[in-house]
Amino acid sequence: MPYRVTLPPYRGRFRLPRAPLQFTPSGTHNVEEVRIATARDTWTIAHNRGRRPAVYAFTDGWALLAASIVHLNENVVQITHNVPLTGWVLLVW
């Protein structure tokens, strides 16, 4: 027999963070822009920096791309999405 549970209404406030996503380099951060000119559904980038950067993928219109980002090793990152696209990748150290 299934149980029926009644919960009281939630009266607390839920707040989303309001900080905008910023890609302006500050301090000692290094930013590398990589242009992907050939439409592909998997982008592989060899940056050869010896560490794993933060990776942001964008379409040509600079809309943030929902993609799977995998660091294959310390020098190579692979970005996979559903359809072949061209765009930009920002690597931030």
DSSP state of 46: E
In-domain check, residue 35: yes
Of the two residues 92 and 24, the one the predictor is more confident about is 92
In-domain check, residue 18: no
In-domain check, residue 23: no
- Residue 63 to residue 46: CA distance in whole angstroms: 23
In-domain check, residue 15: no
- Residue 13 to residue 28: CA distance in whole angstroms: 37
pLDDT band at 11, cuts 50/70/90? low
pTM given for the model:
0.68
Domains contained in the chain, number: 1
In-domain check, residue 5: no
